[in-house]
């Protein structure tokens, strides 16, 4: 059974909107937020460290000028990575999941985004020193205060998710899954999402298909182009439809700043591939038949 969620079929990833990518100014970011919402995408994904801790404030300034009602959109953010940069001159990159750090990071994010609450708050990556009781303490306080509506994880393995779930509820796990990065199909992450009704969110949902420094198997390129041509789609839409086929209900986090591509991504989520198409794409990506 797919978990019930209030997020749009595609999530707009904001990591490259600012310093780490497009460097959009306030006016351009305000316009992009409107264009994204106009496509039907109402969920925006953030993390405190994006843009060396500047993205959220840039988005918040733009958001404050949109006039869009807060209850029309969903805001997601993540915390826990202490990223070394001029804005945070830590001695070494590390993870911090003490209750105080989680709560303080959430307060900082809320202030930057100019909002009273987050629809979903995630721990960004697992730490070998993570204490689930500290996490549960922070999450309980944040939920009770109304600062977050739901809590989840990012990049956590099934055992790590189970550890957290013994102490507090987990509603989502944001993981890497794409045609060119398929580990989640077999390592139990997606199986657990189905079993426990956890929402799987896919970061880098197009994988190597949009990375300039990688080589795509010729067989995969050929099958993508064949399916795309037969259905009148782009190859990116075919790759997203491949994700959408999974019964766990994967929600791709798409980082494009191009409204047309985001609209195409939304269209892809309503496309149903045939079993032959799905397994042909998988076989071409792996280079061998299914075991």
Residues belonging to the active site = 50
* Paired sense of beta strands 11-13 and 251-254, if any: parallel
Q: Report whether 243 contacts 204 (CB < 8 A).
A: no
User: Distance between CA 284 and CA 94 in Å, rounded?
Assistant: 38
Contact yes or no for 194/248 (Cβ under 8 A): yes
CA 59 to each of CA 55, 75, 154, 166, 254: distance values in angstroms, whole numbers, following the listed order: 6, 11, 21, 35, 16
Other beta carbons within 10 Å of 86? 7
**Residue closest to 153 by CA, chosen among 178, 189, 123, 115:** 123
157: exposed, middle or buried (Cβ count in 10 Å: 0-12, 13-18, 19+): middle
Instruction: Name, in order, each residue with C-beta under 8 angstroms of 69's C-beta and a sequence gap of 6 or more.
Output: none
């Amino acid at each position: 059974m797919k978990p019930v969620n209030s997020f749009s079929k595609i999530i707009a990833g904001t990591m490259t909107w600012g310093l780490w990518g497009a460097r959009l100014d306030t006016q351009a970011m305000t316009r992009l937020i409107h264009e994204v919402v106009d496509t039907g995408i109402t969920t925006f994904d953030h993390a405190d460290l994006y843009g060396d801790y500047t993205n959220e404030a840039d988005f918040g300034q733009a958001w404050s000028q949109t006039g869009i009602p807060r209850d029309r959109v969903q805001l997601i953010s993540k915390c826990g990575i202490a990223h070394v940069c001029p804005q945070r001159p830590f001695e070494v990159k590390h993870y911090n999941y003490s209750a105080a750090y989680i709560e303080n990071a959430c307060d900082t994010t809320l202030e930057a985004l100019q909002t009273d609450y987050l629809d979903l708050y995630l721990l960004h990556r697992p730490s070998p020193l993570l204490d689930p009781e500290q996490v549960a303490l922070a999450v309980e306080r944040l939920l009770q205060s109304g600062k977050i509506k739901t809590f989840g994880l990012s990049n956590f393995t099934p055992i790590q998710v189970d550890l957290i779930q013994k102490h507090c509820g987990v509603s989502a796990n944001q993981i890497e899954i794409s045609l060119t990065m398929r580990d989640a199909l077999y390592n139990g992450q997606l199986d657990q999402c189905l079993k426990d009704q956890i929402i799987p969110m896919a970061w880098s949902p197009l994988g190597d298909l949009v990375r300039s420094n990688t080589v795509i198997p010729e067989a995969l390129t050929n099958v993508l182009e064949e399916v795309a041509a037969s259905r009148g789609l782009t190859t990116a839409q075919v790759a997203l439809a491949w994700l959408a086929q999974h019964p766990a209900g994967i929600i791709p986090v798409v980082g494009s700043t191009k409204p047309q591509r985001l609209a195409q991504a939304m269209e892809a989520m309503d496309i149903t591939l045939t079993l032959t198409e799905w397994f042909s794409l998988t076989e071409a990506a792996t280079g061998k038949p299914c075991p």
